[in-house]
Structure 1
Amino acid sequence: MDQPNSKKLDIIIPAFRAHSQTFMMVLDGISEEDAKKRIDGKTNHIIWMVGNFLDMRYALGNVLGLDAKNPHSDLFFQGKALDESFSYPSLEELKANFHQISPLVYQKLLDATDEDLDQDFPMGMGVDFFKENTLNFVGMCISREDYISGQIALMRKILGYNAMKYDFDKDLKY
């Protein structure tokens, strides 16, 4: 396994790689048509969920110094609410964006130093038990990816797909 510069990321590196795998596995077999479905008009559709997962990757890269702009930030930035009047990108386009940004973010995680991670990063949370710094923002991004993957897994079942299979791709290195 790749070793990060900062020991503070020892738990984050495997989580990031696992999330990359989970992202691909949870979407396996989902049709474009089903990816746009909402349940009783109450849920977000899978496209929105995938777009938000991808926005987390861009946010993570940006806080670590990566100069990359999410091509769909107008639709997904900071969990922007689903708007059915918008024209959302296809699932395939979002997957392609995922494979473009993820290796770049992964390298930034590996390169990050303790000093980088200790930098103040105001998030406006205002709670005394949560230091607002880059490291904790990284952790929040990882947590959000977990949450979104769980939502997509639930949508798989609701839409009649089999549960996600854990067929890891040993060639996916990010």
Structure 2
Amino acid sequence: MDTPKSKRLDIIIPAFRGHSQNFLLVLDGISDDDAKKRIEGRTNHIIWMVGNFLDMRYALGNVLGLDLKNPHNDLFFQGKALDENLDYPTLKELKENFHQISPLIYNKLLEISDEDLEKAFPMGMNIDFFPENVLNFIGMCIGREDYLCGQIGLMRRILGYEGMKYDFDKDLKY
């Protein structure tokens, strides 16, 4: 495992890499048609969930100093509600975006200092036990990724796919 500059990220680095693996594995074999299905008109579709996963990655990248804009920002920024009247990208496009942004974020996570992790990052939560700083924003992003992978995993099963396999790719270094 790569060693981060900040020991405070010892738990974040494996989580980030694990989420990268889970993201790809939970999408394995899902067709584009199924990725656009909603359950009884009440759920988001998988494309929306994947887009939101990526929106988290782009937000994290920006907080870490990457000046990259999500190419699908207009569809997914800050969990924008699903709109069935809009054309969403394909899984293939979203996976390509994932492979572009993820290694860049991973390298930034390895390089960030304790001082930079402590920098204020206002989120407007105003919760007394939750300091609004870069470190806690990173943690929130990791949590959101967990949530979205879980939703996609449930949708996989509802749509008749096998459960996600944990066949991690040892060569994926982000």
**Unmatched segments (≥5 aa) in structure 2:** none
Supply the distance in 2 between the matched residues of 1:110 and 1:37 (Cα, whole angstroms): 37
Output the amino acid matched with 1:49. Answer: M
Aligned to 2:24: 24
Misfit runs of 4+, over 3 Å: none
Partners in 1 of 2:38 and 2:111 — Cα distance?
40
Which residue in 2 is equivalent to 1:69? 69
Residue 111 of structure 2 is matched in structure 1 by: 111
TM alignment of 1:31-110, pairs within 5 A: 31-110=31-110
Could you give the per-residue CA deviations for residues 14-54 of structure 1, whole angstroms, max 9, x where no partner exists? 00000000000000000000000000000000000000000
In the alignment, which residue of structure 2 is the partner of 1:7? 7
The CA deviation at 1:92 is: 0.5
Tell me how far apart the structure 2 counterparts of residues 116 and 31 of structure 1 sit (CA, whole Å). Answer: 41
In the alignment, the residues of structure 1 paired with residue 111 and residue 86 of structure 2 have an alpha-carbon distance, to the nearest angstrom, of 37
In structure 1, what is the equivalent of residue 126 of structure 2? 126
1:169 aligns with: 169
Q: TM-score of the superposition, structure 2-length normalised?
A: 0.99
What is the identity percentage for the equivalent residue pairs of Structure 1 and Structure 2? 78
Aligned residues: 174
Q: What CA deviation, in whole Å up to 9, does each residue of 1:114-161 have, x standing for no partner? A: 011000000000110000000000000000000000000000000000
Letter in 2 for 1:107: N
Output the CA distance in 2 between the equivalents of 1:7 and 1:50: 30
Structure-2 separation of matches of 1:109 and 1:61: 9
For the residues of structure 2 that align with 1:170 and 1:127, how far apart are their CA atoms?
39
Q: Find the aligned partners of 1:127 and 1:144 in 2 and give their Cα distance.
A: 18
Distance in 2 (alpha carbons) for counterparts of 1:150 and 1:169: 20
Q: Write out aligned runs for 1:118-157 (5 A).
A: 118-157=118-157
RMSD over aligned CA atoms reads: 0.4
